[in-house]
Structure 1
Amino acid sequence: MTILLPQTRGSAGRAPRLDIDLGAVAHNTRLLASRASGELMAVVKADGFGHGALDVARTALAHGATRLGVTSLEEAWALVDADLGVPVLSWLNPVDADFATATARGVEVAVPSLPHLAAVAAAPGRTRIHLHVDAGMARDGAEPASWALLCRTARRAEQRGEVEVVGVMGHLGCAADPADDCNALARTRFVWALEHARAAGLRPRDRHLAATAATLTDPRSHHTMSRVGAGLVGIDPSGTTSLRPAMTLTAPVVSVRRVRAGTPVGYGHAHRTSRATHLALVPLGYADGLPRAAAGCAEVLVHGVRRPVVGLLSMDQLVVDLADRGVDLGETVTVFGPGDQGEPTVAEWAAWAGTIEHDVVTGIGARIARRVRGVPHLRSLS
């Protein structure tokens, strides 16, 4: 058995790298904007679904988006600091969040309950709010039984100058399956919520229910605005549209060894080689965001050929079976990408792990070096 000494992680300028293609974000934004019936809000929560919130925000705004959305106020501050010149909405905050700073900095906030409304109304100044209704997920948003009272109370706060109700919002629970009956129920509940808001004397100009999947498949849910996040970076939960993945993950080979048939690989000896083969070590693991559950299924691209990942994924490394081909130290392995060159995609890694693409892209760790390319200029949809 021949053992080649490994390079250290990052030696000779080589290290795992995540490439972010903003050209793909631009393409996806233009396509989504062409499908939306009204405005397009670019949702850049979770650091732009792991792609960089500011980079995704700037690109989306240059290519058809007119608003920005995040979950927490902490995520909103960076967008406000960047002075992007568009409204920013934050829709998931505890009742004791810093609504005073949100008001002072012009961040719009979602209000899902009477206690939240009281907290926002108590902040100095006049806060722009979106009343948030539970459209059928039993998750965030006001329960239907409390909705009418929330609308009436918001109207009184508006008359006192404490808030301005600029929007009503909800979420679809089954939009990934356009045929699911729960979508029709959610649309009906949202219209019901709007009728109660109007009956209370509210005139919200922004009415938004659809996210990426519904923006692509269900015009009945669009209203005045659609919120898209996953679609910006190439994920279509409905599986109906070819969007361009914006993330490519590569890493160098740090060691190669020739082993006999029956050689155990990795922790627990979860894999034994069925023949004499070459094994390559790649310095990526579950601490970098690769789903450990993909062990036994995953593949990577080496020299233009897919090769299986064997054994368990470790915290910092994985092993690739090269069969009868060796590779040079430092050879680039493509873990996932758009799939244009035959490499696995994020969708495949998600399927191997029994999860969704969102889980994979938002989990990539901070220790991986990032390169952003293709910062695009505004151009027509192609």
Structure 2
Amino acid sequence: MTSTLEMTTGTGDFGLGVGDGLAEAVVDHSAIQDNVRTLVAQAGVPLMAVVKADAFGHGAVPVARSCLAAGASWLGVTRIGEGVELRRAGITAPMLAWLYDPASADLARAHTIDLSVSSAADLAAVARSHGPQPAHIHLKLDTGMHRSGCPGEDWARLARSSAELERAGIVRVVGIWSHLSHGGQPGAIATHRQLLMFGAGVAIARGAGLHPTVTHLANTAAVQSNPALTRHDLVRVGAGLFGIGEGLRPALTLRTRVVQVRRVAAGRGVGYNHAQRTTRDTHLALVPIGYADGIPRAAAGRAEVWVRDRRAPLIGEVSMDQVVVDVGPEPVAVGDPVVVFGPGVLGEPTARDWARWTDTNEHEIYTGIGQRVPRRHVRQVTGEPSTEGAAA
């Protein structure tokens, strides 16, 4: 079996279908599908694959197809437009959107996208949308995250109003849901408070005459840390699809190449403001990827990349389009592959490393990859492009 990293860095030829050949993000669908299967097994209930933000920068349409093929039952998006993109690609799986302009409820109904409802205003907007069938909604209860969802004091009223509209054939309450502030951590008092409040909220809704098909609370962290208490009828997994979590496989490798090499004496300033200086006679490699492509400026002086089978540090400030790498006394060559981050199987940096170096999380590292970096979709087991297309 040839790993994605070996396959894509074996030569200097990226073979891109689009773009200029300076960088690419290789998305390994075998890793995504392995992660889906692992998380379905851990949860023991159906899984909603959350493919918001272009599937965390991995490519929403091909990722959604891979997730469904591997056993996901639902898809989750933040915005209605994200769901419309999937529908226009021919994807028909049940889908939920939860952050939207109420005036767009007609668009969601037209594309059979379920909507989250957190307030009387949300409910009224959905009820005003037009269509031959009831609008499908999921009532969201704020169980203590204090971010979105219906406050507890308004919940009974929202449940009763929803039940009235359901009896009138205007809406169908498909689900009741909430979100955990501490990822289901078993020892967190907040988790147990949320579990109790969610259970009470579901009971109140049923007492009002609602019979939801699914109740859902758990995210990736909860599935992995506390599935027995948090899973309910459905789990929502986003981060875990892409290898963020324990025992999961990172699915994306960000690659570029060396475009210039020069020998520089010790004590020379590098880049803007000479933020760093060389500490020895060394070789500096210019790499054509910068903060416009998702390299955080906070990485300056901290981060490393993989070149010539070794890690080499960034030196100087991160520019919009390029960074400089100190490769040491032994030079590299123009055209040599550079892995910014990957799964880590060869020792290359990972997205988790970059998150640590820049005081953020892996989610931000992935979603920050710029649009001018083409995504190439492959399957590790064959080394061939996936059926979703060579680039997205």
Q: Tell me whether 1:201 sits opposite 2:209 in the alignment.
A: yes
Q: In the aligned structure 1, how far is the partner of 2:386 from the partner of 2:23?
A: 25
Q: In the aligned structure 2, how far is the partner of 1:83 from the partner of 1:362?
A: 24
For each residue in 1:167-214, what CA deviation from the matched residue of structure 2 results, as whole angstroms up to 9, or x when unmatched? 001000111744322111111111111011011110111100001111
Q: In the aligned structure 2, how far is the partner of 1:79 from the partner of 1:258?
A: 50
1:37 is displaced (CA, Å) by 2.7
Q: In the aligned structure 1, how far is the partner of 2:20 from the partner of 2:61?
A: 27
For each residue in 1:330-357, what CA deviation from the matched residue of structure 2 results, as whole angstroms up to 9, or x when unmatched? 1111110000111000000001000000
Which residue identity is paired with 1:342? G
Q: Percent identity?
A: 47
Q: Which residue of 2 aligns with 1:99?
A: 105
Q: In the aligned structure 2, how far is the partner of 1:363 from the partner of 1:300?
A: 17
Q: What is the TM-score normalised by the length of structure 1? A: 0.92
Q: In the aligned structure 1, how far is the partner of 2:128 from the partner of 2:357?
A: 49
Structure 2 unaligned blocks of 5 or more: 1-15, 380-384, 388-392
Q: 1:310 aligns with which of 309, 315, 321?
A: 315
Q: In the aligned structure 2, how far is the partner of 1:84 from the partner of 1:163?
A: 23
Q: Structure 1 residues 202, 313: closer, same or farther in 2, change over 3 A?
A: same
Q: Which residue of 2 aligns with 1:37?
A: 44
Q: How does 1:68-79 map to 2 (within 5 A)?
A: 68-79=75-86
Q: Structure 1 residues 316, 47: closer, same or farther in 2, change over 3 A?
A: same
The CA RMSD over aligned residues, in Å, is 1.6
Q: What is the TM-score normalised by the length of structure 2? A: 0.90
Segment of structure 1 superposing worse, 367-376 or 255-264: 367-376
Q: In the aligned structure 2, how far is the partner of 1:172 from the partner of 1:41?
A: 16
Q: Which residue of 2 aligns with 1:110?
A: 116
Q: Which residue of 2 aligns with 1:222?
A: 231
- Asked if 1 retains the 8 angstrom alpha-carbon contact of 2:80 and 2:107, the reply is no
For each residue in 1:231-262, what CA deviation from the matched residue of structure 2 results, as whole angstroms up to 9, or x when unmatched? 011112xxxx2110000011111111111110
Q: In the aligned structure 1, how far is the partner of 2:374 from the partner of 2:119?
A: 41
Q: Which residue of 1 aligns with 2:194?
A: 186
Q: Which residue of 2 aligns with 1:234?
A: 243
Q: Which residue of 2 aligns with 1:87?
A: 94
Q: In the aligned structure 1, how far is the partner of 2:110 from the partner of 2:289?
A: 43
Q: Tell me whether 1:213 sits opposite 2:221 in the alignment.
A: yes
Q: In the aligned structure 2, how far is the partner of 1:77 from the partner of 1:90?
A: 10
Q: Which residue of 1 aligns with 2:343?
A: 338
Q: 3-state DSSP class of the match of 1:182?
A: helix
Aligned residues: 362
Q: 1:134 aligns with which of 128, 133, 142?
A: 142
1:160 is displaced (CA, Å) by 1.1
Which residue identity is paired with 1:85? T
1:104 is displaced (CA, Å) by 2.6
Q: 3-state DSSP class of the match of 2:247?
A: coil
Q: Which residue of 2 aligns with 1:168?
A: 176
Q: Which residue of 1 aligns with 2:382?
A: none
Q: In the aligned structure 2, how far is the partner of 1:188 from the partner of 1:37?
A: 21
Structure 1 unaligned blocks of 5 or more: 1-9, 378-382
1:151 is displaced (CA, Å) by 0.3
Q: How does 1:328-367 map to 2 (within 5 A)?
A: 328-367=333-372
Q: Which residue of 2 aligns with 1:5?
A: none
Q: 3-state DSSP class of the match of 1:152?
A: helix
1:85 is displaced (CA, Å) by 2.8
- Asked if 2 retains the 8 angstrom alpha-carbon contact of 1:235 and 1:243, the reply is yes
Q: In the aligned structure 1, how far is the partner of 2:39 from the partner of 2:185?
A: 18
- Asked if 2 retains the 8 angstrom alpha-carbon contact of 1:37 and 1:225, the reply is no
Q: In the aligned structure 1, how far is the partner of 2:98 from the partner of 2:363?
A: 19
Q: Which residue of 2 aligns with 1:15?
A: 22
Q: Structure 1 residues 118, 54: closer, same or farther in 2, change over 3 A?
A: same
Q: In the aligned structure 2, how far is the partner of 1:224 from the partner of 1:294?
A: 41
Show structure 1 runs of 4+ deviating over 6 A.
none
- Asked if 2 retains the 8 angstrom alpha-carbon contact of 1:40 and 1:228, the reply is yes
Q: In the aligned structure 2, how far is the partner of 1:102 from the partner of 1:14?
A: 38
Q: In the aligned structure 1, how far is the partner of 2:386 from the partner of 2:25?
A: 19
Q: Which residue of 1 aligns with 2:330?
A: 325
